[in-house]
Amino acid sequence: MDSVNRFGPELILLAMAAVIILADIGWALAGTGAERMRRPALGALALTGTAASIIWSALLIAFDEQGEAFSGMIRVDDFALFFNFLFAGTAAIVILASIDFLRRNRFVAEYYALILASTAGMMLLASTIDLIAIFVALELTGISLYILVAFMKDGRSSEAGLKYLLLGAISSAVALYGMAYLFGITGSTSLDEIGLVVSEANGETRSALVLAMVFLIAGFGFKMAIVPFQMWVPDVYEGAPTPVTAFLSVGSKAAGFAVVMRIFLTALGDGSISSDWATVFAILAAISMSLGNITALVQGNIKRMLGYSSIAQAGTFLIGLAVVAAADPQLLLGTSAVLFFLGTYAFTNLGAFIAVIAISSKIGSDQIADYAGVAKRSPLLALGLTICLLSLTGIPPTAGFIAKVYVFNAAVQADLVWLAIVGVLNSVVAAYYYLRVVLNMYTAEPASEESIQPGYYLGLAMVVAVVGLLVIGIFPSPLLEASEAAARVFG
């Protein structure tokens, strides 16, 4: 029973997905009378699922129930639980933000079920310690997201879905190829055993290990959306329904980082290979940040801009990974920096996208130029978006500031000063395009005076996100401690 118990947070999400689908069939059979209650009730079910998942994760901590499950397939430790909270929380906010968006949509149940299934897959990506389970979880996450991206079924959404599907399938295949190499070298799919063999590896397997590493980075780089595996980002972010874009930019990216940390720190953490991948990550970090920020400068569409900005942010996370390879204290520092950054980034980016959902659905445009004078039409929304963009820039007292300081500090301590400098320079560049939006909202003349009122649920989601990132910005210690505890798993 321990196995099922530890699998609980994921299990309850999957169970709730099934319940939602069945409930929807129930509504269809019940006839038109109960139709009015369908959408709110299904949304409530989905939220209950995420809440139950969070509670279950908390109970696992409270009763000290951490450990392995399913004969070494998953390991529920502080790292996995950290991501359980992150993913379930993200899913909850995304579901809140979707309720208004789905007001006239007929596939509500499918939407929620797919979000929940995808979340369960992401949680598994953070907790599995076996290559086979990792791959299945990767596909579970991926396939749900492919469908969600194409959910609107109009031209742009379908195109985005197709692009995401094709590139996603290729990247999965590449990752699988890398896993096959790992298996071929070590004869095991368990990350622990691979780690053992790799730490004792002699020169005979080195070239194959490097190849496996490259394939894995390429495969998971797609999920993390780092350069040069970022081609899909702008089109998919633009074409997907905005709540799904928010989910992609936070959940999917964090899942990519979770599984990369799991694999690289557990299986490839020892031996000479670790300095190899640290170098690769350092270079990718610099390229991702620079390319993402520079391209974001010229974007006119806010979703595309946020897409490029998320590439740049991913580059910043990679600094943390690049730091890991040095001595032990840095390992902790680097890993916890990534985790902390992911935590703050979740709130920040979700907040930004929710503001975009609220504003864009009213003004009917995603163009930054059309955001002119939004502050006059909806002061609170503009304030929320401003705070989120400030946090993305890294200006105190927001959470983004502390996260950036943390990461750059880790880089300096690991003698990667050049990387820290690249990061700081990039923050300056990023400030330009983030603040351009803010400036546009506050100083330009609005096209109309009609006020913008976000729906009740959307407003709630916005408040959660903004309050969250301000609280982290002012009292960072709980999240810091949590991410350090999670990082200690690999220490």
Partner 1 sequence: MEDTGSIVAFWLLAALTLGSALAVVLIRDLIRAVVLLITSFLGVAGLYITLSADFVAVVQVLIYVGAISVLMLFAIMLTPRAGRNNAETFFRIPGILLAGLMAFTISLVSLDTDWAVVERGGFEETASAIGEALLDKYVLPFELAAVLLLVAMLGAILLVHPEGTDEE
Looking at residues 157 to 176 of the shown chain, list those that interact with partner 1 (rule: CB under 8 A): 161
Cα distances (Å, whole numbers) of residue 190 to 6, 131, 132, 215, 469:
18, 6, 9, 18, 37
130 binds partner 1 (CB under 8 A): yes
Measured CA distances, 371 to 127, 301, 414, 436 (Å): 41, 10, 42, 11
- Upstream peptide bond of 228 is cis (omega within 30 degrees of 0): yes
**Closer of 174 and 233 to partner 1 (Cβ):** 174
36 binds partner 1 per the rule CB under 8 A: no
| Sign of the alpha-carbon dihedral angle for 217, 220, 222, 227 | negative
Question: Pick from 12, 42, 96, 124: which binds partner 1 (CB under 8 A)?
Answer: 124
Residue 32 within binding range of partner 1, rule CB under 8 A: no
Asked, as a colleague might, if the bond just before 397 is cis with ω within 30 of 0, I would say yes
d(CA 445, CA 179): 55
Q: Over 225-293, what HEC string results?
A: CCCCCCCCHHHHHHHCCHHHHHHHHHHHHHHHHHHHHHHHHHHCCCCCHHHHHHHHHHHHHHHHHHHHH
Helix or strand (DSSP H, E) at 30: helix 2-30
Q: Are 301 and 433 in contact (CB under 8 A)?
A: no
Helix axis angle, 206-224 relative to 131-149, nearest 10°? Answer: 30
Among candidate residues 171, 392, 146, the one with its CA nearest the CA of residue 292: 392
For position 91 contacting partner 1 by CB under 8 A, the verdict is no
**Stretch of residues binding partner 1 (CB under 8 A), selected from 106-114, 283-291, 294-302, 428-436:** 106-114
Any contact of residue 74 with partner 1 (CB under 8 A)? yes
Nearest CB to partner 1, comparing residues 210 and 429: 210
Nearer to partner 1, 197 or 463 (CB): 197
Size of residue set near partner 1 by CB under 8 A: 50
* Residue 458: CB minimum distance to partner 1, A: 19
- Asked if 42 is part of the footprint of partner 1 (rule: CB under 8 A), the reply reads no
Of 70 and 442, the one with the shorter C-beta distance to partner 1 is 70
With contacts defined by CB under 8 A, name the span among 126-134, 260-268, 323-331, 403-411 that binds partner 1. 126-134
Cα(407)–Cα(391) distance, integer angstroms: 15
- 147 contacts partner 1 (rule: CB under 8 A): yes
* 21 sits near partner 1 (criterion: CB under 8 A): yes
Cβ proximity to partner 1: between 212 and 368 the closer is 212
Contacting residue, 1, 31, 104, 328, with partner 1 by CB under 8 A: 104
Question: Residue 117, interface with partner 1 (CB under 8 A)?
Answer: yes
* Cβ closest to partner 1, residue 1 vs residue 327: 1
Residues 331/324, Cβ–Cβ less than 8 Å: yes
State the binding string over 180-219 for partner 1 (x if CB under 8 A, else -).
----xxxxx--------x----x-xx-xx--x--------
| Residue selected from 12, 19, 45, 140 as contacting partner 1 according to rule CB under 8 A | 140
* Amino acid identity for residue 343 in this structure: G
| Among 132, 173, 439, 474, contact with partner 1 (rule: CB under 8 A) | 132
Residues that bind partner 1 (CB under 8 A): 7, 14, 21, 69-74, 104-107, 110, 113-114, 117, 120, 124, 128, 130, 132-133, 135-137, 139-140, 143-144, 146-147, 150-154, 161, 184-188, 197, 202, 204-205, 207-208, 211
